[in-house]
Amino acid sequence: MLDLDNTLAAYDEHVLSDNIVQWLDDIRNSGIELFIISNSTRKKRVGPMCDSVGIKYIMQAFKPSPKSLLDAMKAEGYSREVSALAGDQIVTDGIAANKAGVFSIVIRPRHFSNPFLAIRYAFEVPLRALCKNKFKVK
Is residue 95 pLDDT above 70, yes or no?
yes
41-88 pLDDT per residue, tens = 999 999 999 999 999 999 999 999 999 999 999 999 999 999 999 999
120-132 pLDDT per residue, tens = 666 666 665 666 6
Cα–Cα distances (Å) from 54 to 34, 40, 57, 84, 98, in that order, read: 9, 18, 10, 19, 27
pLDDT, the chain, mean: 88
More confident residue, 135 or 28: 28
Q: What is the pTM of this model?
A: 0.83
Q: What are phi and psi of 35, to 5 degrees?
A: -150, 130
pLDDT of residue 34: 98
CA distance 29 to 40: 27
CA distance 38 to 53: 15
Q: Which of 5-9, 88-92, 114-118 has the highest mean pLDDT?
A: 5-9
Is residue 110 pLDDT above 90, yes or no?
no
